[in-house]
Structure 1
Amino acid sequence: MRFTFLIYLLYISLFTNCKQPEYHLTKIEGKQIGVTDSLKAISEIDSFIQPYRAHLKKDMDSVLAYSVGTYSRDDGEFNTAIGNFMVDAVHEQANPIFKRRTGHDIDMVLFTYGTVRTIISKGDITIRTVYELMPFENNIVVVALKQPQIDSMLQYLCKTKKANPFSKLKLTIDKNYDLVNATISGKPIDNNKTYYVATHDYLYNGGDNMTFFQPNDSLYKLNYKVRNALIDYLKKADTINPVMDDRYIQIPRK
């Protein structure tokens, strides 16, 4: 019995001594390595990616259409040619998809000044141009809004004092930036109607303080990127010559 007890103690001792030691982090060291021209290229890696780089460059430089002028988001106080181009193109491309799925038309499209990320220069418009214009993976969504949300949307547009692009909406404000008149698709706003407003998912989720999209009646995801809609539109257009118009005006003018 005593012998068995000694064997048991020996077993416990050996088991305890075989346990892995515990390690504890005591210090972390690091340094910043800047990505500059001074870093030597690794020829094997460069040779491997060269065919992919050439293929991508060829695709990105493919010409989609021609731009008659140079257009910037800062060209106008209340609406701009480039902003009008973007929302009008999205309406034209997205509406048939939405109509086919729901039986309804998109009543208007709404983006923000910040959605327009760069200029369109006079000359050829390439796929690269569109990626620079819309570098994010934003998808088009359609939101069903009723009168309270529409009122909040109009107040937002009046008070932000920016050229936020919209299509199918016509807005008139006074010198104090108060709403004078608003129509959608050429008709006075009907307080009993549900309006189908297209935007992109970042704005729907409250980006740029657009909180009026929620709550809502319904949300429809088209699984169609804004960028792809612009590319599809430009492939058909051949030439674009967008203009500033009277969709958003202030009276009396300054």
Structure 2
Amino acid sequence: MNNTSLTKQLFFASMISLLFLNCSPQLGFQFQGNYKAADETIEQEESFVQFVSPYKETMEEKMGTVIGVSEKALTKEGRENLLGNFVTDIQKEYVEKKFGLAVDISIINNGGMRNELPLGKITLGNIYELSPFDNYLVVLELQSNDVIKLAEFMTERKNMSVSGMRIYGEDNQLKEFSVNGKSVEQGKTYLLAINDYLANGGDNMDFLMGLHIKENSNILLRDMLIEMIQEKTSEGKNLNAEIEGRQIYR
């Protein structure tokens, strides 16, 4: 048995388990578990293969379902990247439609996007590869000082993608930024669309912990992406994104 076939079996086994598990999101939830490396020393169990096989075939067929078409390869290349712009725009648009909220800023950590989207047909499997984690959609309320901290963090780390904000930095220092084309206003509350991992302080974003939660949903990021892509496809729209100067660092 080679590594490729073993990896596929383990992937489909994990996917099958999702059909039987239904977990509700909680801010602060943490998973603990032990991992064993998958290599040629692990023998194939025939009874397991027979059990998994029919589910595997069904899952392969489902994962191959085409849900949209992309006009270009949406990659993670560059500080500001096409995939990040696409996902954060979609996330912002979804929250505004789903919850009727005027979202000011939408962000995602580049590391949370585990794969890129190819040119041409986009399948259900592509989205599961992009977002394999159970990350839930959250909306936080930020005050002006929180927005400044966010802009400073992004300038220093350069590992985030954003919609609704433009940032300019030099030598890891924030020089100027705007939200929806305007300077930050004292006393104004800003809405941030984000995933629960980051809202919990993940990727060293501990300054977000304890902020007021406007919406704590049970909507997975990948489900949001699938729904929005299918909706755009039904409207005759293809996937696309542009580099727009949202983040410029010298």
TM-score, length-scaled by structure 1: 0.76
* Structure 2 residue aligned with 1:49: 52
* Structure 1 residue aligned with 2:24: none
Residue identity in the other structure for 1:97: K
Equivalent position SS for 1:110: strand
Residue identity in the other structure for 2:43: L
Deviation at 1:247, TM superposition (A): 1.2
* Structure 2 residue aligned with 1:17: none
User: Does the CA contact (< 8 Å) of 2:138 and 2:213 recur in 1?
Assistant: no
Q: Which has the larger radius of gyration?
A: 1
1:93 aligns with 2:97: no
Quickly say closer, same or farther: Cα 1:37–1:141, change in 2 above 3 A.
same
* Structure 2 residue aligned with 1:177: 172
* Structure 2 residue aligned with 1:128: 125
* Structure 2 residue aligned with 1:229: 224
Quickly say closer, same or farther: Cα 1:64–1:216, change in 2 above 3 A.
same
Structure 2 CA distance, aligned partners of 1:48 and 1:156? 48
Question: Any residues of structure 2 matched to 1:90-239 within 5 Å, and which?
Answer: 90-99=91-100, 104-162=101-159, 164-173=160-169, 175-238=170-233, 239=238
Deviation at 1:50, TM superposition (A): 2.6
Structure 1 CA distance, aligned partners of 2:120 and 2:147? 38
Deviation per CA, 1:79-137, whole angstroms, max 9, x where unpaired?
Answer: 100110111111111222222xxxx4111111112122112122211111011101100
Question: Any residues of structure 2 matched to 1:45-84 within 5 Å, and which?
Answer: 45-73=48-76, 75-76=77-78, 78-84=79-85
Equivalent position SS for 1:109: strand
Deviation at 1:35, TM superposition (A): 5.5
Residue identity in the other structure for 1:215: G
Structure 1 CA distance, aligned partners of 2:110 and 2:37? 36
* Structure 2 residue aligned with 1:10: none
User: Which structure 1 residue ranges, 5 or more long, are not aligned?
Assistant: 1-31
User: Does the CA contact (< 8 Å) of 1:146 and 1:216 recur in 2?
Assistant: no
* Structure 1 residue aligned with 2:248: 249
Structure 2 CA distance, aligned partners of 1:71 and 1:218? 31
Equivalent position SS for 1:222: strand
Q: Which moved more, 1:60-69 or 1:135-144?
A: 60-69
* Structure 2 residue aligned with 1:240: 239
Structure 1 CA distance, aligned partners of 2:166 and 2:48? 55
Equivalent position SS for 2:59: helix
Quickly say closer, same or farther: Cα 1:51–1:92, change in 2 above 3 A.
same
Deviation at 1:41, TM superposition (A): 4.4
Residue identity in the other structure for 1:132: E
Q: Which moved more, 1:140-149 or 1:239-248?
A: 239-248
Structure 2 CA distance, aligned partners of 1:222 and 1:33? 34
TM-score, length-scaled by structure 2: 0.77
Structure 2 CA distance, aligned partners of 1:59 and 1:34? 25
Identity %: 26
